[in-house]
Structure 1
Amino acid sequence: MKSSTLRTAEQITDQELIVLCLEGKDAGYTGLYNRYARKVYNSISRMISHTGEAEDILQDTFCTVFSDVSKLKGVLSIEAWVRRMAINRSISHLRKRKITFSDLGEMDVEDEVNNDSDDMEIFDCRVEDVKKSIEELSSGYKTILNLYVFEKMTHEEIAVMLGVSASTVRTQYHRAKKRVLLSLKDKCYYE
């Protein structure tokens, strides 16, 4: 009798899932979706506050992934590729809503970077307070903060993605961080 060769979803590689997708098998599509949907949704929802809009972007992202599944064969990190696609769609969505990432000028950057002494304060906050403070930011600030902090993108990568200068990204990142810290001062104990 032949031994069972069934494997769990975690044991199947991304490339094997892609092959299943290319063969038109539902298991491949389901496997990719189940593996990455939650992480991708979290990236989207950090930029898009409205749950329905975030879910639409997630769905559009995976529809594109599945229709272009042959492009995934050579991709080294499927997670990074899908997340980048979702982030680009989120930014496009924000642009359609007229959220702009304006060019603030070079002089502001030095002031913003040099005046970050507030960062050294120690806060005793709950995670919910931090999330709420980030959520209260304008969409532009929130997007840049999330891309830099949670998506680990550089200022230069964010600048290219948003079509602004790296100094604008740095300025808006520092201003967003400052606003979060000011908000936390009202909500948390600090030393």
Structure 2
Amino acid sequence: MTPQDYNDDELIAMCRVGKGMGYAGLYQKYAKTTYNSIHRFVLHTAEAEDLLQETFVAVFKDINRLEHVLNFGAWLKRVAINKSISYLRKNRIHFSDLVFTELEAWEDYDPMEDSIFENRLIDVKKAIRELPDGFRSVVTMYVYEQLSQEEIGKILGISANTVRTHYHRAKKKILAKLKDKSYHE
């Protein structure tokens, strides 16, 4: 049998007794999606690869504590996101520098904003990559990782209102870049 023939619980059980097939199976099953999640945060391939390895080392080191975790994939993603945020904090960004007043909620809402996002995904992804790290992290966690504003706030150490403000301002920055394109009227 190959690692793909086992479910997560069976692979985790193998890891707990030191069988390499368990580690290999979990890595093969989750490495690509975990790498993609990390890469959305750090943007550089070498850094993302390093963080991927650090994530799996940490997860495999703590595999015996997994009894209270119901979903291995979700737990792994959380570890990867936390490692990515820690990396950004340590190397490039201080989220406290991005704290703004929380006044802008839905003022200036333009329904065309949503159609721009839907119709120009490539341009949107490029605009997201060009955001400052703090804004990009909020957008990445909210849009790609589908975390709630409260969860994002806990991870970043900021309030949910500040997360909303960051998201709103990031969206405005993205739209400003997209408005220069000829498809926006």
TM-score (norm 1): 0.87
- For these two proteins, the number of residue pairs brought into alignment is 182
Of residues 89-98 and 29-38 in structure 1, the stretch that sits farther from structure 2 once superposed is 89-98
Whether the 8 Å CA contact 2:3–2:25 is kept in 1: the answer is no
TM alignment of 1:137-176, pairs within 5 A: 137-176=131-170
Question: Partner residue of 1:105?
Answer: 101
Question: Partner residue of 1:115?
Answer: 108
Residue 90 (structure 1) aligned with residue 98 (structure 2): no
Distance 1:44 1:55, change over 3 A: same
Residue 179 (structure 1) aligned with residue 184 (structure 2): no
Which structure has more RCO (C-alpha within 8 Å, separation ≥ 6)?
Answer: 1
Following the alignment from structure 1 to structure 2, what is the Cα–Cα distance between the partners of residues 122 and 28? 45
1:105 is aligned with what amino acid? T
**Deviation of the 1:188 alpha carbon:** 5.5
Name structure 1 gaps, 5 residues minimum. Answer: 1-5
Name structure 2 gaps, 5 residues minimum. Answer: none
**Deviation of the 1:114 alpha carbon:** 2.0
TM-score (norm 2): 0.89
Q: Secondary structure at the match of 2:66?
A: helix
Following the alignment from structure 2 to structure 1, what is the Cα–Cα distance between the partners of residues 67 and 114? 47
**Higher CA-based Rg:** 1
Whether the 8 Å CA contact 1:14–1:78 is kept in 2: the answer is yes
Question: Identical aligned pairs, as a percentage?
Answer: 47
Structure 1 moving runs of 4+ over 4 Å = 118-121
Cα distance per residue 1:68-121 (max 9 Å; x no partner): 111223311111101101111111111112412232123x2xx34222225546
